[in-house]
Amino acid sequence: MGLKKFIKSVKSTLGLKDFNQEGKKKSLKELLKKLNKRKKSITASLKATEDKKEKKELTEELDIVTLQIKKGKKILYKLYAKK
């Protein structure tokens, strides 16, 4: 997955409309921060809820966000390795 595709998918996941892409590394770092913040909020919601259906939805969302964080770190590593 390329950088542009990754940024587009994360923007749609996070629901960002006013995201300015300044530089590849800087924008990727910013998206990773937002994904980590989202992961923490999902984890907190998951601990607080009792409903099985809601827990399943939150777990699926957590899996998606975790996968996106992993992909983002991999892309960021490649960007730093190109120096």
In tens, the pLDDT along 42-80 reads 999 999 999 999 999 999 999 999 999 999 999 889 888
Q: How many CA atoms lie within 13 A of 66 on its CB side?
A: 9
Q: How confident is the model at residue 37 (pLDDT cuts 50, 70, 90)?
A: very high
pLDDT bucket at 4, cuts 50 / 70 / 90: confident
| Residue 49: inside a domain | yes
Q: Judge whether 13 lies within some domain.
A: no
* CB neighbour list of residue 4: distance below 8 Å, 6 or more residues apart: none
* Residue 35 falls inside a structural domain: yes
Q: Please report whether residue 9 resides in a domain.
A: no
| Six-digit token string for 45 | 């919601």
Tell me, what DSSP letter sits at residue 59?
H
Tens digit of pLDDT for each residue in 23-36? 778 888 889 999 99
Number of domains into which the chain is organized: 1
Is 2 within the bounds of a domain? no
Residue 25 within any structural domain of the chain:
yes
Task: Write the DSSP symbol of residue 2.
Answer: -
Structure tokens at 44: 């907190």
> What's the chain's average pLDDT?
85
Containing structural domain, residue 56: 18-82
Strand (E) or helix (H) holding 75 = helix 52-81
